[in-house]
Amino acid sequence: MNMKTTTPIMRTRAFVTVFMKEVRENLRDRRTITSAFLTGPLLGPIIMVMLLNITLNRQLDKAEKPLPVPVSGAEYAPNLINALKAEGIVPKPAIANPELAVRKQDADVVLRISPDYATAWRKGEAVQVELIYDSSQRDANASVDRLSSVVETYARQQGAMRLVSRGLSPSTAWPVVAAKRDQATAQARAALVFSILPYFFVLTVFMGGMYLAIDLTAGERERQSLEPLFANPVPRWKILAGKLGAICTFSAASLLISLVAFGVVGRFVPTEKLGMELNLGLGFSGQVLLLMLPLIVLLAALQSMVAAFAKSYREAQMYVSLLMFVPILPSILLSTMPIKAQGWMYAVPLLGQHLGIMQLLRGDGVTPEQLGLCLIGSLAASVLGVLVTARLYRSERLAISG
């Protein structure tokens, strides 16, 4: 019974043994497989396609289709009505209660022309037409904008003609004209729509490892297999390392599937119709993977830590679900308050990844310093996370069920 000679073999094998067993066991669990390889990674691309399609269709629809607008008092302003028709706006018969109709979404917008329109027009006085709409109906906003711009253009043309007929240049009335020069590149416009993307990647990594993390600590304790496991001549940190390795493998696989799915989806989304450019190709995937690597380890450690605190599987599930909200924070923060990215922000885990992926989406690329800061910051955090979890694993209570 000379075990001393076999010690070197054991050193290398304990990690691999735990790792292989956890991977094999979890590959046999349908729920884990579904969450890690199906719903987790594909949720993002599917939601993205749906969102984009809705936005695209809506914008294209509103721009090209004839816009029916109920008009009351159309008979007082035949020229205005003709101008509207020329721009694809179809005047409809007046309706009884325009205010109510708009609120009930029976009409996007209603145009009201007052009976004294004709008299005032002839006298050369300013006349008023009313656009009745409900700005809380976001769906109607495109219609309102379109109608109001047609009316304003008409007014400007008529005004110019009146000035000319009085022998004045139209520029007397409009001494300053604002010309808009949009500097957003096509890619940058796409990035605005895709600002939710970094969160999807984090979420995918999270969901890929979630069930494993719960199963490998809280689950194992609840099923009373942690105590016999710890009776083996293997230091607990090696067991933890094997388990973390398995969690990381699953979440990395999840991320990979998600990146491939986004790559495929990116080819079919008609972003050019929105005047956007989107590159989700290999270069993008590779850099995202690199940015996310330390985060994979960090999330695995955090999930295991939280699951180790819980007394039961259910409790662990609850804690880990709450933890899922943490990665949303940078996304919300950046979308609600448009902060200018500072260098140090790249070193903050999650925030750094978010900024980096946004840079990639905008087509600006990530500088080596930004990449370095992001990797070092997240790596430091994940080392800390692993150390704390390892410490937790040393506790006597961890193994004891019930």
Query: Are 255 and 312 contacting, i.e. CB atoms less than 8 angstroms apart?
Result: no
CA angle 168, 172, 176 (to 5 degrees): 155
How far is it, in rounded angstroms, from Cα 296 to Cα 301?
A: 9
CB of 31 to another protein, least distance (A): 11
Angle between helices 236-268 and 282-309 (to 10 degrees): 140
Query: Are 269 and 49 contacting, i.e. CB atoms less than 8 angstroms apart?
Result: yes
Is the alpha carbon torsion for 330, 331, 336, 341 positive or negative?
A: positive
Tokens read off for 330? 């940078």
CB of 401 to another protein, least distance (A): 5
The residues that touch another protein, with contacts defined as CB under 8 A, are 1, 3, 6-7, 9-10, 13-14, 17-18, 21, 24-26, 28-29, 220, 223-235, 396, 399-401
Give whichever of 227 and 369 is closer to another protein, judged by the CB atom.
227
Give the pairing of strands 109-113 and 129-133.
Answer: antiparallel
Give whichever of 48 and 246 is closer to another protein, judged by the CB atom.
246
Ordered DSSP codes for 83-129: HHHHTTEEEE---S-HHHHHHTTS-SEEEEE-TTHHHHHHHT----E
CB of 223 to another protein, least distance (A): 4
CB of 10 to another protein, least distance (A): 3
Give whichever of 18 and 247 is closer to another protein, judged by the CB atom.
18
User: For the chain, what is the radius of gyration of the CA atoms?
Assistant: 31
CB of 8 to another protein, least distance (A): 9
CB of 317 to another protein, least distance (A): 18
Give whichever of 232 and 367 is closer to another protein, judged by the CB atom.
232
Give whichever of 234 and 265 is closer to another protein, judged by the CB atom.
234
CB of 3 to another protein, least distance (A): 5
Query: Are 356 and 346 contacting, i.e. CB atoms less than 8 angstroms apart?
Result: yes
Give whichever of 226 and 374 is closer to another protein, judged by the CB atom.
226
Q: Which of 332, 242, 349 is nearest to 296 (CA)?
A: 349
Give whichever of 85 and 223 is closer to another protein, judged by the CB atom.
223
> Does an H or E element contain 133, and which?
strand 129-133
